[in-house]
Amino acid sequence: MTDIVLTCPEPRGYPGNLGKPFADATSEAIAVVDLGDSADAQRRTLSCRALDAHCDAVARGLRLAGVHAGDRVVILSLNRWEFVATLLGAMRAGVVPVPINVKLPADAVAYIARDADARIAFIGPGLAKLVPAGLRTIEYGRSFESFCDPGTFDAIEPAPDTVAIQPYTSGSTGRPKGVLLSHYGQNWSRRLIAWNRRTAPADALLVAAPLYHKNALNAVKQAFTGGARSVLLPQFDVVRYLAAIGAERCTVISGVPTMMAMLLAQKAQLAATDVSSVRTVMMGSAPASPALLAELQAVFPRAEILINYGVTEGGPLPLGPHPDGKPRPLGSVGYPAPGVEVRLVGGASEDEGEFVTRNPGVLLGYHNLPAETAKRIRDGWYYSSDIFRRDAEGFYTFVGRTDDMFVCGGENIFPVEVEALLEKHPAVNQAVVLPFAHELKGQVPYAFVTLKAGSQTVEDALKTYALAHGPAYMHPRRVFVLDRIPLGGTNKVDVSQLRAGVTAGLYEPVSQGAPHG
């Protein structure tokens, strides 16, 4: 492979097709390691040259199928190398890929496919039942190979406002919204991420987050840009995840705090696994407690432990390391990256408020939603609905989402503040807090916690602890001790399952201490 030198991206979008992210597309170095659908599956590797050829074959297949630049195609699959080839191949042809969460119900998948006016659905095994009737399907492992047309392909040259990819928001506050991201903006973003994280050909990035989500997509693009390799698991499985770190000598691992808490609970497997290769542990999508950060540092002593802030519409990673190398304060998500403008608006001071950013990676708009676009994008600034604080050094810390804030007896509460309070208790491994209706207070916090191995505590003890260490209005009115926190499709906490469990009486609070783990 030729030498790869990453430089700080200039504060503008970058021309070129996002479907061609390889540092050296002619290299025989491994680009992707696909670990397969199960622990006994055959491990498959693809070089940069081989994967690049597959991407061209997808682009040629789309052209033969009569799918034109600007058309949309759905990708509905767990992580596998064909997903990556389809994603990049579609973009080379100017076709816009629409990756969809495989855990959505069929009616939600149908809504997205209709909203995008998709021409074809590329699907993983067993997912045909989710595809709306009448939409042509190409299944990985079956019809995909015959769909592809081997040969070279000249990728289209996009304009600055050409859409590269159209992911959809989770729909937690309404219908899912299609996010229009440009080739120019995401080319800037991938260069910035790879540069910020000092990505090099010796790196191996473990990808277990779903490829339809920004976290995994960023990791794959980061790896390709820096000449590193992506190690793909179909989905997060803590035993396979930890085994892959050792077997593949992964240098960069990532996930949400819940995933990392599950990993740390595997004491015996951790002790038997060589994790010395890990130099970076990245977490996002939710705050991480100081206790979790400390335990991760102890398990991965050679690694930098990072909490990242990312939003699909806003860059997606507008914050990073300090330009002068100053260390991040504990819990901070970083300092504005080169080319990123940031403001905090609507708060009590200039150092607290809604996070607003302007950078080349900001979305072009929402698909078919001009009013929502006008609400979120003003003069090029993206309004995130996320509340932040900024310290004297310019580092930012996430406080909570305006959508998540609730009022309890006239007091504003962000769930993350209650979670951080509970996670300081020596027995608590992780806490999740949700608002529930209350006749007098309007809404009150309920907490769902998991305990550290060998620890024990009870509901009343945790309530007393919260009252002793925080404002009275903030203490959880109910505390449920769970064996695990349920995760949804993007490995975020499955809030609907927690609420359903309370309604069904499945989470009875423990009345006396019992060891966990």
Give the Cα separation of 75 and 38 in Å (integer): 21
Span 148-157, average pLDDT? 98
**pLDDT tens column, 84-135:** 999 999 999 999 999 999 988 899 999 999 999 999 999 999 999 999 999 9
Examine residue 112 and state whether it is found in any structural domain, yes or no.
no
User: Is residue 512 scored above 50 in pLDDT?
Assistant: no
Distances (CA, A) of 513 to 20, 183, 455, 468: 56, 55, 9, 20
Share of residues in the chain with pLDDT > 90 (%): 62
Domain residues for 473? Answer: 406-503
Spell out the SS3 assignment of 435-447.
EEEECCCEEEEEE
CATH of the domain at 442: 3.30.300.30
Q: What H or E segment, with its residue span, contains residue 49?
A: helix 48-64
Distances (CA, A) of 153 to 72, 158, 186: 19, 15, 21
Q: Residue 442 contacts by C-beta under 8 Å, 6 or more apart in sequence? A: 406, 407, 408, 409
Q: Which of 334-338, 444-448, 453-457 is the least confident region? A: 453-457
Q: What is the pLDDT of residue 100?
A: 95
Q: What is the pLDDT of residue 203?
A: 97
Examine residue 80 and state whether it is found in any structural domain, yes or no.
no
Number of domains in the chain: 1
Q: What is the pLDDT of residue 172?
A: 54
Span 252-278, average pLDDT? 91
Q: What is the pLDDT of residue 515?
A: 34
Examine residue 451 and state whether it is found in any structural domain, yes or no.
yes
Residue 439 CB neighbours (<10 A): 6
Examine residue 247 and state whether it is found in any structural domain, yes or no.
no
Average pLDDT of the chain is: 90
Examine residue 309 and state whether it is found in any structural domain, yes or no.
no
Span 210-224, average pLDDT? 91
Examine residue 417 and state whether it is found in any structural domain, yes or no.
yes
Comparing 484 with 129, which gets the higher pLDDT?
A: 129
Residue type, 314: G
Examine residue 490 and state whether it is found in any structural domain, yes or no.
yes
Q: Using CA atoms in the order 218, 222, 223, 226, what is the torsion angle rounded to 10 degrees? A: 170
**pLDDT tens column, 35-44:** 999 888 899 9
Among candidates 38, 200, 65, which has minimal Cα distance to 122? 65
Give the Cα separation of 135 and 76 in Å (integer): 13
User: Is residue 514 scored above 60 in pLDDT?
Assistant: no
**Structure token pair of residue 353:** 């408020």
Q: Give residue 516's pLDDT band: very low, low, confident or very high (50, 70, 90).
A: very low
Q: Give residue 509's pLDDT band: very low, low, confident or very high (50, 70, 90).
A: low
pTM (two decimals): 0.83
The DSSP code for 223 is: H
Q: What is the pLDDT of residue 3?
A: 67
Among candidates 323, 326, 188, 196, which has minimal Cα distance to 252? 196
Q: What is the pLDDT of residue 122?
A: 98
Give the Cα separation of 465 and 484 in Å (integer): 22
Examine residue 56 and state whether it is found in any structural domain, yes or no.
no
Q: Which of 52-56, 93-97, 156-160, 306-310 is the least confident region? A: 306-310
**pLDDT tens column, 158-212:** 999 999 999 998 765 568 899 999 999 999 999 999 998 999 999 999 999 899 9
Span 359-376, average pLDDT? 95
Q: Give residue 401's pLDDT band: very low, low, confident or very high (50, 70, 90).
A: confident
Give the Cα separation of 324 and 196 in Å (integer): 13
Work out the angle at residue 83's Cα, subtended by the Cα atoms of residues 80 and 85, and round it to the nearest 5 degrees. Answer: 115
Share of residues in the chain with pLDDT > 70 (%): 95
**Structure token pair of residue 415:** 């769930």
Comparing 171 with 138, which gets the higher pLDDT?
A: 138
